[in-house]
Structure 1
Amino acid sequence: MSLNQQSIWHENRQPQDILSTTPARLELVPERPCDLHICTAETLHCLQQELNLYRRLYENIPSVYFSLDTTGIILSVNKFGANCLGYTVEELLDQSVFNLFTQSDRQKLFQAFKTLLNSTTDREITNWEFRLNCPASKIFWVKVVARLLPEEEINYLIDESLSDECPPKKPQILMVLEDITAHKQAEDALRESEQRFHTMANTAPVMLWMAGVDGLFNFFNQSWLKFTGRTMEQQQGLGWLEGVHPQDQEFCQEIYDSAFHARGKFEMEYRLMRHDGEYRWILDTGVPRFTPDGKFVGYIGCCIDITERKLAEVALKHSQASVQAQLEEMEGLNRLKDEFLSTVSHELRTPLTNMKMAIQMLGIALNQEQNFMIEMAKPQAQRSKAARYYEILDNECDREINLISNFLDLQRLDTTTKPLVLETIQIQQWLWRVVELFKARNRNSSQQKLRLSVAANLPTFVCDPFSLERILIELLTNACKFSPPDAEITISAQLKTPNLQFQVINSGVEIPSSELPRIFDKFYRIPSNDPWKQGGTGLGLALVQKLTKYLGGTIEVESGSNLTCFTIQLPLNHEV
């Protein structure tokens, strides 16, 4: 076919059509030989290949292409598009395009077509978004682009000389569907996410706010609005600052601006007016927001009412000042107490020592004049009145001396941390000496039998011997005082790794179980278990417990089966 050769496109349903645009088929027909050059076979072959190429491109272009008549009947559709919709080309031809859309969107599409057909100018329709109703398709949302093809474009290849022979062409609509399902799903997800955020934000028990890239506040949750009693419009922008205490406004603005320019987190405390007009202390924390690609999009923050905490801090400061004053007062009282104890130690012990000495000298004088020691050796019922008075005087003087000594020792143990004076002792020899010392001091008053039981091959023991001796002497004194005459008192020592165990066991007496928890209390004496009317200070066992703890050990008491046992555990690992 030469460049001067003319051709026409026309509708033909004969089998010899070259390119079909179902249902209208197009065919290249040479003009009469008298007017046109005869087309060679080679030229027709090239044209056929070119048309086949365009046909393949049209069928496989990755979009949905329709040509419709003015009533919406599908005249043609590309194969790729039909497959995307879940149909074959044959199933779609001659069907109404409206059937492919949901019932609710069909009326919208009809109105769009009506507007398109009534337009007097060429108009390309874009941004139409409709939902499909194609069960076998994965496409749910499409963007529709439609254009009305006027008659002159349909007949643009028809020779004007033949216009009388060809029937007039009806207008057609070219419609392209673009899959926007993923986009709409993303929009739905974003919308749902925003709705979820607003729901959580408005039900959160704290006040939340958001600010944009311009630094202006654009969102406040219901907790904030309820707290301030203001509307969202009043709070947006910088309106929220109106509720901040005038003395705190400049401070808040500086903190926020500094953090905003640095894109950093911030915390600030300020006073915010509540809906009732009361200023409340607020802790405001803001955190910058970024998109996944690192783009800054503003701030989100939360506020909590910390008024009670601030009031507690003020109260705590006052309390600390008060406590400090009390501590200073207590230190002063402790100094006074130490001075008092020093005075007591001198003013009471000295007269009592003199009294004891005078009593002893009185006994010597009476013995020289009246053989007083012979009188004191008689049974109590046979003694003279002078001998009985002398015994009472001597015993009560000893009791007062022990009371003051024990009391002062207890006070020193409570108020000082005097270091231990450690020595290495051989248990068997040392314990025998302590028992003999006790016998010598109590030869006239102690009528019980003392038995010493020491396990063989005990290791050397590092301890403060004075404190340990005081403990054992007090326990022996207590055992003798509350045991019947001729009862047996056992003092034992044995190894209970990693401790050394001492026991003082007396028979013939029991302590009621109800009294055991109070046995080590100061000034406590068992009221009903003293048949021999022995006097006591009530401080001996309290002093024993303090001294045992001072040595790093423990003491326990058990009573039953006509026996009472005090057990002391002391660690072996003291170092000299």
Structure 2
Amino acid sequence: MNEPPCWKFLPEGNNYVDNSLFEVLFPVRNDSLCESCLYKNSPPVYLCVDLSGKILSINLIGALSLGYRPEDLLRKSVSQLFATSEKPLLSEAFTRLSHQTIGNKNHYWYFQLECPGWDRAWVKINARTSASKDHKPVILMVFEKITACKHTKYAMKESEQDFVFLGAGVDDIPAMLWMSSSDGCYSLFNKQLLTFIGYDTWTCERQSPEKIMYHRKPSDLDWLKLIHPDDKNLYLDRFEKAFGTKEQFQIEYRCKRADGEYRWLLDRGSPRFEKNGNFLGYIGSCVDITESNLAKTALEKSKQALQIELEDKIALNHLRNEFLGKISHELRAPLSNMKMAIQMLGIVLEQRGKSLPTQSEARYEFPPKADIYLQILNNECEREISLIDNFLDLQRLDSNPRGWVLESISVPQWLPQVVRVFQSRRCNSCKHDLQLDIASDIPLITCDPFSLERIIIELLTNACKFSPSGEKIIMSVQAKSQNIQFQITNTGVEIPEAELARIFDNFYQIPSNDPCKQGGTGLGLALVKKITESLGGNITVKSDSNYTCFTVQLPAE
């Protein structure tokens, strides 16, 4: 029988080596042909080398899988099959093995190859020493490709190293951390997460409290028991989709804490990849957001309550505006009729006083105090009209404080006209020395002219009402920074210091402070303050010996 082709590459006289290799690889033999065929066609790489590393024999399939022909490797150093970085380690392994007793035991090495067929492939090497026919030691080696397994192992090692890289402080991070492998299995939990779920009650296999390795999928019943029944489907759906898309994800769900209470967790995961793009799994964190959710719920309820309150206020304002519209007509209409009747009565009295009485009229004589009564009637009617106007204006300001029509006003031109209008209206009641002092550098002011006129008229009226006849009333205007300052000073009267704090209150009148006995509504200054503040300004009052000064400041723009 011809010698099998595989053996023609062996050096002559080394049949003992051949038999030694067969004894290692195929301890049960039927015949040499069977042994030769198995050796030749087996997928693993079988090698026989001397202690210097020269290849004495290699099987055909093994050589071809490495990218060589058998004859290309014979008498060549086995180190040429290995990556450059592995050669020093390989040399050390050979040295250690050469000092072992021949055939004592098998040794297992893990190296990376660098050859045409298995470039950068990882192999597990089963090696043992044997003896040639002349009793020289040789090394028998079997290569098993484990690249895929090595990648997985490296990924796991990388995960552990990444976790360890965080340092001892990882357990001080106020978050629960986890890590998973690419198949969706959890690989690492930190101490915070273990404490949260109750480490002692967790049934997953563990290594040590400091470094826990889990190989459990989230669909396992042990984990799902911790998830609130209403959140399980959402959790599983998001988790499985994330591993399909390999993108960042986050889930909010309720998880049972060690004490049995369900807590809301915000679970975020980020994918991990190797440099070559291989997906390694996820690293993630869980944060207890129960208190935050409770605060959000309370805030939402508060917002809803505020919204309801706002809607109620809007409805109330609408009703109030309707009421004011109706009451304005109902109150003003009879007063307007009264005012008209009083004016007509005055005209009649005036005409009767100038004309000769007829025969029928001679029988009736007007009372001597008729004119006084008519004046009282007219004053009280005016007072009621002013009271109603001020009251309704205050209510409108409360419901719509910004209902202005803004214009650019030149104070030096506008103010003298307003003062003349005031003087024409109060020609009989205001017998004072009214002086106007306007600075020359007053800029334009953007304001509602009707509202500003209302402020000026009301303050001038107040000054006239509470100052004795003949006293001075000084109206001055000057620019102050970005504001325009209006001051109305009247002499001959002062306000007690105790009353200054209440002078702008609704319906408040200073006791015994009406020397002219003209009366008032108690709403004028309150209305002035309300209008001033709605225009973005402020009003103050100062009173000292024999004088009182009201100061209004309004923004120029």
Interval containing the TM-score (normalised by the shorter chain): 0.5 to 0.7
Residue from 203, 212, 221 that aligns with 2:181: 212
Residue from 177, 183, 192 that aligns with 1:223: 192
Normalized against structure 2, the TM-score is what?
Answer: 0.59
- Where do 1:156-235 residues align within 5 Å? 197=166, 199-230=168-199, 231-234=201-204
Change (3 A) 1:465 1:228: closer
Change (3 A) 1:415 1:121: closer
- 1:342 and 2:325 aligned: yes
Residue by residue over 1:411-447, the C-alpha shift from the partner in whole angstroms, topping out at 9 and shown as x without a partner, is 333434545264766735x433433332332233334
Equivalent position SS for 1:470:
helix
Q: Distance in 1 between matches of 2:346 and 2:403?
A: 39
Shift of 1:264: 1.6
Shift of 1:347: 0.8
1:354: which partner in 2? Answer: 337
Q: Distance in 2 between matches of 1:124 and 1:285?
A: 47
**AA matched with 2:412:** I
Q: Tell whether the 8 Å contact from 2:445 to 2:555 is kept in structure 1 after alignment.
A: no
Q: Tell whether the 8 Å contact from 1:425 to 1:462 is kept in structure 2 after alignment.
A: no
Q: Tell whether the 8 Å contact from 1:453 to 1:491 is kept in structure 2 after alignment.
A: yes
Q: Distance in 2 between matches of 1:426 and 1:263?
A: 71
Residue by residue over 1:278-335, the C-alpha shift from the partner in whole angstroms, topping out at 9 and shown as x without a partner, is 4332211112234566554322211122334444444555554444444333333222
Normalized against structure 1, the TM-score is what?
Answer: 0.58
- Where do 1:280-295 residues align within 5 Å? 280-291=263-274, 295=278
- 1:502 and 2:472 aligned: no
**AA matched with 2:179:** M
How many positions carry a matched residue from both structures?
406
Q: Distance in 2 between matches of 1:462 and 1:223?
A: 63
1:547: which partner in 2? Answer: 531
Shift of 1:407: 1.7
Equivalent position SS for 1:489:
strand
**AA matched with 1:251:** L
Structure possessing the higher radius of gyration over alpha carbons = 1
Change (3 A) 1:311 1:148: same
Change (3 A) 1:453 1:121: closer
1:169: which partner in 2? Answer: none
Q: Distance in 2 between matches of 1:453 and 1:270?
A: 74
Q: Distance in 2 between matches of 1:415 and 1:447?
A: 38
Residue by residue over 1:497-526, the C-alpha shift from the partner in whole angstroms, topping out at 9 and shown as x without a partner, is 755443211123344556555544433444
Change (3 A) 1:456 1:228: closer
Q: Distance in 2 between matches of 1:120 and 1:456?
A: 118
Moved more, 223-232 or 279-288: 223-232
Q: Tell whether the 8 Å contact from 2:184 to 2:243 is kept in structure 1 after alignment.
A: yes
Change (3 A) 1:496 1:229: closer
Equivalent position SS for 2:204:
helix
Shift of 1:385: 7.0
Q: Tell whether the 8 Å contact from 2:246 to 2:271 is kept in structure 1 after alignment.
A: yes
1:297: which partner in 2? Answer: 280
Residue from 324, 327, 330 that aligns with 2:310: 327
2:433: which partner in 1? Answer: 449
Residue from 394, 397, 411 that aligns with 1:410: 394
Q: Distance in 2 between matches of 1:123 and 1:484?
A: 127
Change (3 A) 1:566 1:208: same
Q: Tell whether the 8 Å contact from 2:159 to 2:179 is kept in structure 1 after alignment.
A: no
**AA matched with 2:473:** I
**AA matched with 1:257:** E
**AA matched with 2:405:** L
Q: Distance in 2 between matches of 1:423 and 1:204?
A: 62
Q: Distance in 2 between matches of 1:243 and 1:527?
A: 76
Change (3 A) 1:322 1:193: closer
Query: Runs of 5+ in structure 1 lacking a partner?
Result: 1-60, 67-111, 128-146, 157-187, 372-382
Q: Distance in 2 between matches of 1:298 and 1:211?
A: 5
Shift of 1:404: 0.8
- Where do 1:348-497 residues align within 5 Å? 348-364=331-347, 390-416=374-400, 417-420=402-405, 422=407, 427-428=412-413, 430-455=414-439, 464-496=448-480
Change (3 A) 1:201 1:501: closer
Shift of 1:399: 1.9
Q: Distance in 2 between matches of 1:256 and 1:232?
A: 21
Residue from 251, 256, 260 that aligns with 1:268: 251
Q: Tell whether the 8 Å contact from 1:123 to 1:148 is kept in structure 2 after alignment.
A: no
Change (3 A) 1:290 1:395: same
Shift of 1:475: 0.6
Shift of 1:351: 1.4
Q: Distance in 2 between matches of 1:201 and 1:463?
A: 63
Q: Distance in 2 between matches of 1:434 and 1:320?
A: 47
Q: Distance in 2 between matches of 1:460 and 1:321?
A: 45
Q: Distance in 2 between matches of 1:460 and 1:247?
A: 67
Change (3 A) 1:279 1:501: closer
Q: Distance in 2 between matches of 1:421 and 1:521?
A: 27
Equivalent position SS for 1:333:
helix
Shift of 1:222: 3.1
Q: Tell whether the 8 Å contact from 1:427 to 1:460 is kept in structure 2 after alignment.
A: no
Q: Distance in 2 between matches of 1:123 and 1:327?
A: 88
Q: Distance in 1 between matches of 2:441 and 2:105?
A: 118
CA RMSD of aligned residues (A): 4.7
Change (3 A) 1:284 1:529: farther
- 1:567 and 2:536 aligned: no
1:241: which partner in 2? Answer: 224
Residue from 254, 274, 290 that aligns with 1:307: 290
Query: Runs of 5+ in structure 2 lacking a partner?
Result: 1-86, 110-128, 138-156, 206-213, 355-366
Residue by residue over 1:333-383, the C-alpha shift from the partner in whole angstroms, topping out at 9 and shown as x without a partner, is 222211111111111111122223333444455566789xxxxxxxxxxx9
Residue by residue over 1:179-210, the C-alpha shift from the partner in whole angstroms, topping out at 9 and shown as x without a partner, is xxxxxxxxx99999755747434343332222
Shift of 1:388: 6.0
Q: Tell whether the 8 Å contact from 1:210 to 1:220 is kept in structure 2 after alignment.
A: yes
